[in-house]
Amino acid sequence: MLRNVPIKRKILVSIVGTMIVMITLVGSVFVFYSWFSDRDTAARNLSSIATMFSLNTAAALSFADAGAANELLSSLRGMPEIRRACLYLEDLENGANSGLFASYIRGANIPPCPSREGQLKASQSSFLRVHRAVELDRERIGSLAIERGLADLKASRRVDALVLMVMLVGSVAVATLISNGMQSAIAAPLLSLLGTIRRVSADGDYCLRATRHGSDEVGELIDGFNVMLSSIATRDADLARTREELVLRIAETGAANTELRSVVEDLHRTQKQLVATEKMASLGELVAGVAHEINTPVGVGVTAASTLYGASRDTADAYKTGALTDGGLRRYFEQAMQSSTIILNNLRRAADLVNSFKRVAVDQTSFERRRFHLRSYLEETLLSLRPNLRNTEISVEIDCEASLEVDSVPGAISQIITNLVMNSLSHAFAPGQAGSIVIKAEASGEEVRLSYRDDGCGMDSEIREKIFEPFYTTKRGRGGSGLGMHIVFNLVSQQLGGRVEVVSSPGAGTEVCICFPAQQGTSAPG
């Protein structure tokens, strides 16, 4: 109810209202208390008056002297509050004599005593009545009833109430004055604080400070408010600084991100370059193998040709000089025939080799899809690897149906086999160690299952899990690029559209299982 009332009014109401309530309460209690206390006193007084008169009238009653009794009772005239007194005789011997014996009535407007005590009306609020037995030697000879009006008590209560009202009015006036004084003492600091708060919230100027008027709770409140303002100002400054820092940091982070992105792009580029380089490297190895392989027949051809040339020149010289004999010519022909046969055979062989290498090299660089016989292609691939295998004790065996024909990417298969064999040579077998490699291929439904197995040293699970990761190698700095198996994985998954898994444990050799679709479009992903 008071919640939305201004604080000045609250103070006024609290002081004046409290005053009114308290004075009314105390005054009412006082009036009621004094009413009951006066009534009680009056009752006690009346009781003692009754006792006194019952004692005094005993003699008159015992001697049946009504005149004396009336005279005695008439002395009550000195007490204006006594309105009526009735003295009754109780004659045990002669009941007929019992009844009103003497009485005192004050004023004409008061009814006379009834003839029997029992006919007295019950006590009323307008008067008090006391009954006393009149006794003589502890023998009841009569009874006295004295009534006392309450008008005097009521009048004095009216005076009390009047005084109370006057006090109330005076107190309200004084309380209003006091509360006016209190308003400036209590409300002024609060109103000043409120003004400061309004200014602060309107202007957002946290440098304003409330003025402290004293060291009471309001003073503490103002202090606290000022401290709060300070901390808000500090926090605002901190916040602004932090925001600037954040902007700066975001800019930095953006720059770093850009840089990182470019680094990652570089990395990807480098990785692609590395992969390409690796491919080129394997191509280089192929070329080296080809050169070595061609070297022998070409060399034999050269030797045979030079022999033929020497024989031809000798024979021609002999013809010019005429020293050519029939036998000599026959020998020359024989020699020429032999030499040309050797030359022809060796050149044909070199041509075969070049064709074979050309096919593998073209496949390895172009990754064209075509239909081919898997077994012969595997053999051609191994042929290109022969220079690497020649100086080892490792045998390579191909277990594949000659009729198995697939429509796939031969270059990828060739490079996969090359990388696997090179891995086996560099990781599985120690230099000079004997071993065997089995390449097994078989059709399995619409898929081809190509199993490459060596009986080398194998690898543990840690290596096996990371084996397809790019740049992962156990021989860094010793010729390992860490890309061989990564390229295998890429080729299998991207070029062949198949999947690869490695089964290996230390000492138990390594098996690489590659499954890929046997026909184009069966399950090749993009």
Partner 1 sequence: MAVLSGYCRVWLLRILALAVFSAPLPEALAQGLENRVKAAYLVNFTRFVAWPSEVASRLEICVAGSQGTYWALVKLLDTKGQAGRAFSARFVLRPDKASGCSAVYLASNDPDLQRYWLRQLPQSATLTVSDDAGFIDAGGMIGFLLIDGKLRFDINQAAINERGLSVSSKLLNLAHRVQRPKQEGRR
**Residues engaged in binding partner 1 (CB under 8 A):** 55-56, 58-60, 62-63, 65, 68, 72, 92-93, 136-139
> In this complex, which beta carbon is closest to partner 1, that of residue 87 or of residue 448?
87
DSSP 206-228: TT--PPP--SSHHHHHHHHHHHH
> In this complex, which beta carbon is closest to partner 1, that of residue 94 or of residue 321?
94
> In this complex, which beta carbon is closest to partner 1, that of residue 137 or of residue 326?
137
Q: How far is the CB of 146 from partner 1 (least distance, A)?
A: 18
Q: How far is the CB of 115 from partner 1 (least distance, A)?
A: 21
Q: How far is the CB of 136 from partner 1 (least distance, A)?
A: 6
How far apart, in whole angstroms, are the C-alpha atoms of residue 141 and residue 75? 21
Compute CA distances 401 → 235, 408, 439, 448, whole Å. Answer: 82, 17, 12, 12
Q: Measure the N-to-C terminal CA separation of the chain; round to a whole number of Å.
A: 80
User: How many alpha carbons fall within 13 Å on the CB side of residue 356?
Assistant: 22
Q: How far is the CB of 69 from partner 1 (least distance, A)?
A: 9
Residue type, 392: T
Q: Checking DSSP bridges between strand 127-136 and strand 434-444, what pairing results, if any?
A: unpaired
> In this complex, which beta carbon is closest to partner 1, that of residue 65 or of residue 314?
65
DSSP 324-368: --HHHHHHHHHHHHHHHHHHHHHHHHHHHHHHHHHHHHHHHHH--
Q: How far is the CB of 166 from partner 1 (least distance, A)?
A: 50
3-state SS, residue 86: strand
Q: For 477, phi and psi rounded to 5 degrees? A: 80, -5
Q: How far is the CB of 56 from partner 1 (least distance, A)?
A: 6
How far apart, in whole angstroms, are the C-alpha atoms of residue 170 and residue 77? 41
The tokens for 276 are 């390409």
DSSP 465-483: HHTTSTT--SSBTTTB-S-
> In this complex, which beta carbon is closest to partner 1, that of residue 16 or of residue 69?
69
> In this complex, which beta carbon is closest to partner 1, that of residue 139 or of residue 399?
139
> In this complex, which beta carbon is closest to partner 1, that of residue 76 or of residue 485?
76
> In this complex, which beta carbon is closest to partner 1, that of residue 62 or of residue 345?
62
3-state SS, residue 521: coil
Q: How far is the CB of 44 from partner 1 (least distance, A)?
A: 24
